[in-house]
Amino acid sequence: MSTTVKAWTSRSRLGKQFFRSALGAAAFALASTVLATPGAALRPPSPHLVEHQQAPVQVVVVTLDGARFQEIFWGVDAAQARESGTPTRVRENARELMPNLHRQMTEQGAALGAGRGPHISASGPDFVSLPGYAEIFTGRRATGCLDNGCPGASFESIADQVAAQSGAKSAIITSWPAIERVGSRSKRVAISTGRHAGLTRRSFERPGAVGDALRAAENEKPWPGDGDFRRDRFTASLALGYLRAERPDFLFVGLGETDEFAHQGNYAGYLDALREADRFLGELAAELAARAQAGVQTALFVTADHGRAASFKDHGKPYPESARVWLVASGTAVTARGFVASPQQRHLADITPTLRTVLGLP
């Protein structure tokens, strides 16, 4: 597929467009770091930016809440294992701990934030979940969401943008119900968050695998979370069932047990949550590979909403080190480059503009 990227300058608009162009340049730099030649689109983007042919495209974003870069890139932390009383036999390196994710980053895609070059970070100033998710969904570093009690982001989300395209499907499926507040307010987006929440939850209530997966979690306890939290294994099952049945153009999956176990200081539980997430990522990658064989461009992005403090249990404004996150991108839309050193610091806000490049959205 041939794609031409053009420079665009407008003297009459230079003053008004400078800040927007600066953000766009940063986002394009991230896209050029991890993406193959930008491909298919739901609809043609601005002719000033990209010329291309039409083709199907499927994008999936998965977040592992509060999963820190140490385990993702280095494996089990021996010091943390000793301190938490985790059995000494547990000493996997990163590839042994999360083999599917590492296969994606080293053989089929790219990884940012492994310590090579500048970091990728949440923008903060408070490094907690909902502001991080708002940053991911909107592609903006300042979203109006400052803490986990915020009513929502003040900007349209990528899920809403995709759903607004004619004939396109967009979905959000998460373990933590609060993500809905920043993920979408559109009835065009299929949303299932937590065991019982989701503005359009009824779109999942159907016979077959999707409905079965939705109902399986309803009467389960929320542990290791609380309230309406849904166990990750049910969220993963629902996401896979929906992906196979509906083939959405955009799917966001939010897993939450890593953060829940970490807050409890349960390092063994945290490691088990990473292993469970990796099994899901393997199934997800296989499903997308099958779609690619059918001629669909695919992109799978895996990241976290925030990092962790040096103490492991905590994160937030008092712990600036908890700003650090990571990103793994794979799929046919991604150049297989392994560990990538970005030329400058990146932020969670750079992810959505990169997704727009893949999807052909303005």
Selected residue with higher pLDDT from 120 and 35: 120
Give residue for tokens 């046919």.
332
Average pLDDT over residues 128-144: 97
Alpha-carbon distances of 230 from 56, 77, 145, 244, 266, rounded to whole Å: 32, 27, 23, 21, 18
Please answer whether residues 257 and 232 qualify as being in contact, where contact means their C-beta atoms are separated by less than 8 angstroms. yes
The DSSP line for 24-63 is HHHHHHHHHHHBSS----SS---TTTEE-----EEEEEEE
Give percent of the chain with pLDDT exceeding 90: 74
Band of residue 116 on the pLDDT scale cut at 50, 70, 90: confident
Residue pLDDT, tens place only, 159-168: 999 999 999 9
Query: CA-CA distance, 311 to 15, in Å (whole number)?
Result: 46
**How far is Cα of residue 311 from the mean position of the Cα atoms in its chain?**
25
pLDDT of residue 87: 77
Selected residue with higher pLDDT from 129 and 87: 129
Q: Which residues contact 29 (CB under 8 A, 6 or more apart)?
A: 342, 343, 344
The Cβ of residue 181 has, within 10 Å, a number of other Cβ atoms equal to 19
**How far is Cα of residue 201 from the mean position of the Cα atoms in its chain?**
21
Going by C-alpha positions, the residue among 251, 248, 295 that lies closest to residue 40 is 295
**What's the mean per-residue pLDDT of the chain?**
86
Query: CA-CA distance, 256 to 258, in Å (whole number)?
Result: 6
Query: CA-CA distance, 176 to 178, in Å (whole number)?
Result: 6
pLDDT of residue 29: 54
pLDDT of residue 351: 96
Going by C-alpha positions, the residue among 42, 279, 320 that lies closest to residue 159 is 42
Average pLDDT over residues 314-320: 98
- Reading the block at residue 168, the tokens are 């396109």
Query: 109-112 and 338-339: which strand pairing?
Result: parallel
Residue pLDDT, tens place only, 248-266: 999 999 999 999 999 999 9
pLDDT of residue 341: 84
Please answer whether residues 139 and 322 qualify as being in contact, where contact means their C-beta atoms are separated by less than 8 angstroms. no
223 burial class (0-12, 13-18, 19+ CB within 10 angstroms)? exposed
pLDDT of residue 307: 98
pLDDT of residue 346: 93
Q: What is the pTM of this model?
A: 0.88
Show the domains of the chain with their CATH numbers: 41-359 (3.40.720.10)
Residue pLDDT, tens place only, 9-51: 222 222 233 223 333 444 555 776 777 654 444 433 333 223 3
Give residue for tokens 């809403």.
160
Going by C-alpha positions, the residue among 262, 282, 263 that lies closest to residue 272 is 262
Query: CA-CA distance, 116 to 132, in Å (whole number)?
Result: 23
Give the least confident one: 88-97, 135-144, 160-169, 269-278.
88-97
Residue pLDDT, tens place only, 189-223: 999 999 999 999 999 999 999 999 999 999 999 99
Please answer whether residues 327 and 302 qualify as being in contact, where contact means their C-beta atoms are separated by less than 8 angstroms. yes
- What is the DSSP-derived secondary structure letter of residue 197? B
- Reading the block at residue 217, the tokens are 């979690």
245 burial class (0-12, 13-18, 19+ CB within 10 angstroms)? middle
The identity of residue 131, as a single letter, is P
Query: 327-330 and 346-347: which strand pairing?
Result: unpaired
14 burial class (0-12, 13-18, 19+ CB within 10 angstroms)? exposed
Q: What is the dihedral of CA 305, 331, 192, 69, to 10 degrees?
A: -20
Residue pLDDT, tens place only, 145-181: 999 999 999 999 999 999 999 999 999 999 999 999 9
Give the least confident one: 5-9, 74-78, 105-109, 137-141.
5-9
Please answer whether residues 34 and 335 qualify as being in contact, where contact means their C-beta atoms are separated by less than 8 angstroms. yes
